[in-house]
């Protein structure tokens, strides 16, 4: 039986390498017509009666329940889908055989819903997973929402998706460190780690951008500015480099420590997580940035972020661009991309799909149907670009 430890969820989701790839597999050709099954308890009971666990699992996999989950995965915003999982969670609390089946095949049955763009459905899924983890413990609604948000956002950490998009991104080195190792580095002289970082900086060309798994220290600007008395020559910037944009470009150990120490975002992440990845990325100049919205494996919208130097509309409708987007290993995601000095697309990072991520020139309230690709009368993607004057 799989050990589901949700609060240290790295092994929980990613211990099986097949999982991310399974997200992109086509759904089963077998579907149930609407309405979906409302009385799930009676539906499942007919498979549980008089069957041993081995036969149950075989029946489940071969021809019966899996088409239901296929249909549910394609209708994640439907009320029926929400009801289905609510009832399933209640049944799990009293049915150990069903728990065994779902634990055995979490990767292919339940986990794809962990990426749902529907917040309410995703919260129900995490309630279900918590029930599988310990069906004797009661979680408040606030606990579920907090855990759901934390895990969902962590599923989009760079170390999980980078190999899929590395050919279209900047060179990156990921150092697996504990929280204690990072704190020790920040506050003392860790000779071994310092040497590793110096070698990594050299390998990446001398100038780098740093972040932890979750976030970057982009809020450290004013702390750095005060610490160096607004003398950005000390920081290694030239007159043509705007400090508010280029202060994240660093080339030595001291700068890395100052960024980490002066960032509330980094401090919060270190408080919330026991393990972190210190991520070093080769610094490249990005000239135009865009936010790409993907829902159900389809690019639904593109927005300049916030302005562009020229109109890229034709490029964003091209096969070349859409083929690159197919490499993204998530059913729904929001990408930050830009163009380098050779006008080549660079994927900067992949963010969770939802209101926790900026909608750029769109609105999560007014343009929800556009961003989620729910309007059948629209030809996607919708492109919104503001050109600099």
Query: Closest by alpha carbon to 176, among 150, 190, 196, 191?
Result: 196
Measure the CA–CA gap between 164 and 19, rounded to whole angstroms: 13
Other Cβ atoms less than 10 A from the Cβ of 18: the count is 10
Q: Is a pLDDT exceeding 80 seen at residue 233? A: yes
pLDDT at residue 21, as a whole number? 41
**pTM above the 0.75 mark?**
yes
Instruction: Name the CATH topology of 288-384.
Output: D-amino Acid Aminotransferase; Chain A, domain 1 (3.30.470)
Among positive and negative, which fits the CA dihedral 354, 17, 171, 277?
A: positive
pLDDT band of residue 102 (cuts 50, 70, 90) is confident
pLDDT tens digits, 275-330: 778 999 999 999 899 999 999 899 999 999 989 999 999 999 999 999 999 999 88
pLDDT above 90: percentage of residues in the chain: 44
Residue spans per domain, the chain: 17-155, 171-282, 288-384
pLDDT of residue 338: 96
C-alpha 255/C-alpha 12 separation (Å) is 35
Kindly report the backbone phi and psi dihedral angles of residue 337, in degrees, each rounded to the nearest multiple of 5, phi listed first: -130, 165
140-to-81, 100, 137 alpha-carbon distances in Å = 22, 25, 10
In this predicted structure, the answer to whether residue 16 has a pLDDT above a threshold of 60 is: no
pLDDT of res. 213: 86
141: left (phi over 0), alpha (psi -120 to 50) or beta: alpha
Q: What is the mean pLDDT of residues 23-51?
A: 44
Predicted local confidence at residue 65, as pLDDT: 62
pLDDT of 10 above 90? no
Q: What is the mean pLDDT of residues 333-347?
A: 95
Res. 59: pLDDT tops 70: no
């Amino acid at each position: 039986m799989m050990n589901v430890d949700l609060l240290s969820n790295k092994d929980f989701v990613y211990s099986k390498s097949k999982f991310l790839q399974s997200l992109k597999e086509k759904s089963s050709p077998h579907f149930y017509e609407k309405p979906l099954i409302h009385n799930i308890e009676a539906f499942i009971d007919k498979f549980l009666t008089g069957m041993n666990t081995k036969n149950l699992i075989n029946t489940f996999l071969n021809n019966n329940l899996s088409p239901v989950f296929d249909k549910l995965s394609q209708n994640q915003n439907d009320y029926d889908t929400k009801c289905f999982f609510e009832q399933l969670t209640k049944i799990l609390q009293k049915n150990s055989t069903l728990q065994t089946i779902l634990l055995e095949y979490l990767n292919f049955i339940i986990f794809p819903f962990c990426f749902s763009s529907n917040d309410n459905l995703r919260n129900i899924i995490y309630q279900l997973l918590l029930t599988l983890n310990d069906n004797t413990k009661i979680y408040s609604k606030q606990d579920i929402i907090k855990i759901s948000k934390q895990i969902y956002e962590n599923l989009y950490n760079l170390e999980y998706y980078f190999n899929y998009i590395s050919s279209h991104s900047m060179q990156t080195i990921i150092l697996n460190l504990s929280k204690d190792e990072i704190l020790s580095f920040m506050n003392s002289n860790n000779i071994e780690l310092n040497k590793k970082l110096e070698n990594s900086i050299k390998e990446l060309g001398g100038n780098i951008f740093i972040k932890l798994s979750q976030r970057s220290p982009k809020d450290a600007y004013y702390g750095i500015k005060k610490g160096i008395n607004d003398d950005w020559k000390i920081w290694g910037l030239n007159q043509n480099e705007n400090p508010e944009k280029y202060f994240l470009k660093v080339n030595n150990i001291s700068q890395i420590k100052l960024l980490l120490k002066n960032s509330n975002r980094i401090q919060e992440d270190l408080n919330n997580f026991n393990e972190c990845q210190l991520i070093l990325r080769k610094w490249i100049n990005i000239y135009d940035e865009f936010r790409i919205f993907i829902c159900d494996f389809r690019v639904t919208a593109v927005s300049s972020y916030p302005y562009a130097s020229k109109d890229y509309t034709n490029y964003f409708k091209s096969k070349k661009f859409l083929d690159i987007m197919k490499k993204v290993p998530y059913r729904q995601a929001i990408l930050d991309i830009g163009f380098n000095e050779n006008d080549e697309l660079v994927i900067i990072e992949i963010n969770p799909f939802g209101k926790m991520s900026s909608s750029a020139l769109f609105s999560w309230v007014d343009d929800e149907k556009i961003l989620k690709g729910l309007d059948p009368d629209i030809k996607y993607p919708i492109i919104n670009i503001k050109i600099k004057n």
